[in-house]
Amino acid sequence: MVGLLLPDISNPFFPMLAKGVEEFLREKGYQLILGNVSEDREIIKSYLQFLVQSNAAGVITTVDFKEEFPEFDLPAVTVDRVGKKSEFGVFSDNSHGGFLAAKAVVEAGAQQIAVVRGPLTTDNTNERFSSSITYLNQAVVDYQVFQSMSYDFSDIQAEAEKLLKEQNTLDTIILPSDVYAVAYMQEIHRINKRIPEDIQLIGYDDILMSKYVYPALSTIHQPAYEMGHEAAQLIYKMANHQPIDQKQIKLKVSYVERDSTRKIKEN
């Protein structure tokens, strides 16, 4: 048995990650216990207690619990939201992803940019944000930063309504995830502005729905399935005392141009 503790399984990114974990472990004869922990420390603790009592082979989690809960001696791999103190981790190249997002909108003619920063509790979105800001400063374009306080979709919708009402000259918005982008798209449509002619958007993750919203969402692809597969392979090696070549595995990201960003003009 292996545990998989995720922050929010309603976010379409995480089921794809879970699929990568489950398919690898099933081939190896392991059962997967999935926990939706909602960033709640008590829920995390209760799952860890259960996994230890059940003699689980290990746990894959988006939260590095070793410092807060050292009493749980359980092989662990941190996935996606890998912090500096995580010994074993699988993550995508967040710094390059933030760079690609900023570069894409600047090259598409962005003039007045809003950079929406995700909640400060997650290292991966912080890294993307920092990289985007570095690029925007080097490109010498006007931008403003807006701090989001929640990953809840209804909260994001309320933040989008407030931002677009107060900042009616924006022509570009960089979002920390595709879920954010969908919420902002809804609000932009509601106020009868056009995407991308009036406001262009770029998301992050490349979840399945990003292809099917209107207009199709330009985004940064990070390989959720591969992330889960690599994390499962790593926990399997740890549980079976096999040699581990890399404790930290960083996967590549790429820009996916669709219809929510303006086309790059050629001179």
Is there a domain that residue 258 lies in? no
pLDDT digits (tens, 9 = 90+) for 129-151: 999 999 999 999 999 999 999 99
Whether 157 and 196 share a structural domain: yes
What sections of the chain are H helices per DSSP? 13-27, 41-53, 94-107, 123-139, 153-166, 178-190, 224-239
> Tokens at residue 74, please?
């359980």
* pLDDT above 70 as % of the chain: 99
Whether 101 and 207 share a structural domain: yes
Whether 98 and 192 share a structural domain: yes
> Residue 265 — very low, low, confident or very high, per pLDDT cuts 50/70/90?
low
Look at residues 36, 37, 62, 48 and name the one whose alpha carbon lies nearest to residue 122.
62
Q: What is the model's pTM?
A: 0.94
- As a whole number, the mean pLDDT across the chain is 95
Q: Which domain holds residue 198?
A: 94-221
Q: Residues 251-258: what's their mean pLDDT?
A: 98
DSSP annotation string for 2-61: EEEEES-TTSTHHHHHHHHHHHHHHHTT--EEEEE-TT-HHHHHHHHHHHHHTT-SEEEE
Is there a domain that residue 71 lies in? yes
Look-up: residue for tokens 């399945």?
Answer: 208
Is there a domain that residue 260 lies in? no
Whether 171 and 210 share a structural domain: yes
Domain containing 180 — which CATH number? 3.40.50.2300
* CA 149-15-236 angle, 5° bins: 110
Does residue 122 carry a pLDDT above 80? yes
Helix (H, G, I), strand (E, B) or coil at 71: coil
Is there a domain that residue 266 lies in? no
